[in-house]
Amino acid sequence: MNLILLGPPGAGKGTQAKRMSAEWGLAHVSTGDILRDAAKKGTPLGLKAKPLMDLGQLVPDEVVNGIIEEWLKGPDAQKGFVLDGFPRTLPQAEALEKALSTAGMKLDAVLSFDVPEGTLVERISGRRSCPKCGSVYHVVEHPPARSGFCDKDGEALIQRDDDTAEKVKERNRVYEQKTAPLKAFYGEKGLLKAVAGVGTPEGIFAEIRRVLGKA
């Protein structure tokens, strides 16, 4: 099964992608994670992406398209995938279509997460993550056992550089302008499925199962 997750920052794409990957054995591909990792390591890709990410703006299409095109040629793509944070623009969606058709693959569904703005702000402002293993927490909804430290490896949790109120506003603006039009693009292809992204992570996962007919 090959899936795309669409939704504004804080919609829960990453959390649900991890669950879907664990439950169904799908590869979880997050372009945001790939770019943050490259930035941390200071690779040429990371050095190019970091200033844009810090402004809440998108990395150029050809850069992210290249990452996904390469990944699709690798062995993990064969087990099925959930794309989290890609595509984010129409040219990215078109590049993906081409790359999939070259690889003889197709999309099964595009899940679009609908979440009220107040919930998005709450989720993002309380989000903390482990720089070592990538585990994600929320200071109120999903706190670690020891405040400020990862349950899995004891590393000090951090707030993402782009999770501040001002940057979230810009990321939302970019989402509405560049990414939201993808709903119509995939809607016309009969692939779009709306997911009510409110409530507990378990409840939202049940809703995903339901819309995918895997209840």
Residue (159 or 209) nearer to ligand AMP, CB: 159
* Calpha distance 204→188 (Å, rounded): 25
* DSSP per residue, 50-98: HHHHHTTPPPPHHHHHHHHHHHHHSGGGGG-EEEES---SHHHHHHHHH
Print the binding letters for residues 145-164 with ligand AMP: x by CB under 6 A, - otherwise.
-----------------x--
What order of strands is seen across the sheet that includes strand 27-30?
A: 27-30, 81-84, 2-6, 109-114, 192-196
As annotated, the active-site residues are 13, 88, 127, 160, 171
Distances (CA, A) of 47 to 50, 70, 118, 150, 163: 6, 20, 33, 27, 19
31 near ligand AMP (CB under 6 A): yes
Output DSSP code: residue 164: S
- Dist. CA 117–CA 45, nearest whole Å: 32
> Within 13 Å, how many C-alpha atoms sit on residue 45's CB side?
17
Peptide bond into 9 cis (omega under 30): no
Please identify which residue in 8, 32, 144, 197 interacts with ligand AMP, judged by CB under 6 A. Answer: 32
Residue 116 exposure: Cα atoms within 13 Å on the Cβ side: 5
Closest approach of Cβ 25 to ligand AMP, in Å?
22
**CB of residue 107 to ligand AMP, shortest distance in Å:** 15
Does position 127 bind ligand AMP by CB under 6 A?
no
Nearer to ligand AMP, 30 or 192 (CB): 30
Q: Which is nearer to ligand AMP, 17 or 192 (CB)?
A: 17
**Closest distance of CB 67 from ligand AMP, Å:** 9
Cβ-based nearer residue to ligand AMP, 64 or 107: 64
Shortest gap between Cβ of 65 and ligand AMP (angstroms)?
Answer: 9
The correct pick among 38, 59, 77, 82 for binding ligand AMP (CB under 6 A) is 59
- Residue 58 near ligand AMP by CB under 6 A: yes
Say how many CA atoms lie within 13 Å of 140 toward its Cβ. Answer: 7
Report in angstroms how near the CB of residue 85 gets to ligand AMP at its nearest. Answer: 3
Binding of ligand AMP at residue 64 (CB under 6 A)?
yes
Query: Which residues bind to ligand AMP, rule: CB under 6 A?
Result: 9, 31-32, 35, 52-53, 56-59, 64, 85-86, 88, 92, 162, 171
